[in-house]
Amino acid sequence: MTTLQKHFGFTRPPFPRVPPEEAILHHKGLEEVLAKLHFALERDTIALLVAESGCGKSTALSLFAKSLDASSHQLVALSLTTLAPFSLLANIATALGIKPRRFKGDTAAALIGHLRSLPRRIVLLIDEAHLLPDDSLEDLAPAQRRRL
């Protein structure tokens, strides 16, 4: 417990990145966003969540992640979003326990092979993806068409 927490009598750190579930207002807009994210998941497609800063995108992604059945889905959440294509691919591979190879194509092949061998579906959440370079976004789209 920090000095600040002791001084003010807080039982947990103030101002968390994502508030606790009981503090979240579940309104119609949030429920629609969650439904659309689940719809995209059911269709094996990419979903893009765009809104003004402070509107709750990260909170919605957190709720979506918590709603996934852990027995059938494995979550990979990234927020390092200024990465070039090879670095992004290497970051995804590392998050899944795969050692990145020297060349992007070799890393991609190893990643695809690994993903196809898994019993659970991988759900990749990239928070702040608007910061990704165009080349990195373009590399994700063909991967999605191959149904990783």
The domain limits of the chain are 26-67, 68-148
DSSP character for 78? Answer: E
Query: 61: alpha, beta or left, given left = phi > 0 and alpha = psi -120 to 50?
Result: alpha
- How do residues 15-67 score in pLDDT, each as one tens digit? 776 677 777 888 999 999 999 999 999 998 888 888 888 888 888 888 999 99
Give the pLDDT band of residue 101 (cuts 50, 70, 90): very high
Band the pLDDT of 147: cuts 50, 70, 90.
Answer: very low
Is residue 121 within 8 A of residue 71, CB to CB? The reply is: no
Question: Tell me, what's the pLDDT at 102?
Answer: 92
What stretch of H or E contains 37?
helix 28-42
61's CB contacts (< 8 A; 6+ apart) are 37, 49, 77, 125, 127
For 115-132, write each residue's pLDDT tens digit. 889 888 889 888 778 788
pTM, two decimal places: 0.69
CB 62 within 8 A of CB 125: no
